[in-house]
Chains A and B, each alone.
Chain A
Amino acid sequence: MARPKVTLVSSDGETFIVEQRVAERSITIKSAIEFAGVDGLTADIEIPLLIEGKVLKKVVEWCEHYKTTKFPEPDENQVDVLSRPPVLTKWDNKFFRLCFEQDMMFEIIMAANYLNINQLLHVGCTTVANMMKGNSTEQIRELFNVPNDFTPEEEAAIKREDRWTK
């Protein structure tokens, strides 16, 4: 008997048929599958998701790529993620570079958060942090298109507070 397939449906109606193990990279989807068949999935299942098709496509791509990879379990006692930074593979770098070029970096991270795909969330946040490092305030604003809502006085006050480190 053929293994049951999981169909992920995006918010704009796009469908992605994936293997169960690919879908179960997401804890959210895994829970939904378990809810549907406590003793194991015996029939195909369709899972609607609040994620746009183009974003879901990228997430599925990531899950497909890492479908057999065993990631370390997140440590609940970990105070600071810096203690265990994720290793970004060449594939990850390329994946996120394309996401950024396609203006989808943050959507991917948000989707990873929503779908509870810890590793994707972790490497996504690391990538963003790496992009910020060493950049000036103005460069960060430009890079991520963040508006400056400080008044000149407020900005000056903050800079004054930080004068010892600048």
Chain B
Amino acid sequence: MPDEILTRIIDHLNYLDVLDLSLVNSRLHVSCMNKLNKLVLCFKLQHYAIILRKWNTVTHKNFTIVKESSLSPDKLKELLGVWNLQLVRFGLSTTTFLTGLSTSPKNIAQGIEQDIRNLVYWIKESYISIQDYSISHSTIICS
């Protein structure tokens, strides 16, 4: 199958589905890596970009965009706790399944991996809106 078609298919997948697909075989892996490189929002690329929005700030423009390069998992846990922010459902799509993250220390310690999985979905969904506000990939991770 031509790469052009493969790319189109992959473009319709979200981050986690792309990861699963990347494991299917080596050719798909290469294509998926290209897709992942586009999703520089994700911490997978060692730019542990975290997009956080306070619970009570509802307008898109009030997004708080935070970037920490090479953020270690421990540092990530720490920051999530310190900021005491909650990630909330963005409401762009019914498929967004992030419905709110508890940031209590206990939950962070126990559920950080799951939280990050949710976060990835959320970033992916939010990305559409972020584009609407003309913020480029590089801006998002550097703001």
Contacts and interface: CB of A to CB of B under 8 A. Distances in A.
A155 B9 CA distance: 22
Interface stretch (A28-36, A48-56, A96-104, A105-113): A105-113
Contacts of A130: 12
A141 interface: yes
- Chain B's interface size range is 35 or more
B78 interface: no
Contacts of A18: none
Contacts of A162: 19, 44
A165 B1 contact: no
B91 interface: no
Q: Interface size bucket, A side? A: 35 or more
Q: DSSP majority for the B interface?
A: helix
Nearest to B18: A132
Interface in A139-166: 140-141, 146-150, 154-155, 158-159, 162, 164-166
A132 B8 contact: no
A150 B23 CA distance: 8
Nearest to A148: B25
A74 B1 CA distance: 22
A89 interface: no
Interface stretch (B51-59, B61-69, B82-90, B113-121): B113-121
A135 B20 contact: yes
Contact of B17 (A106, A126, A133): A133
Interface of A: 79-83, 85, 106, 109-110, 113, 121-122, 125-126, 128-130, 132-137, 140-141, 146-150, 154-155, 158-159, 162, 164-166
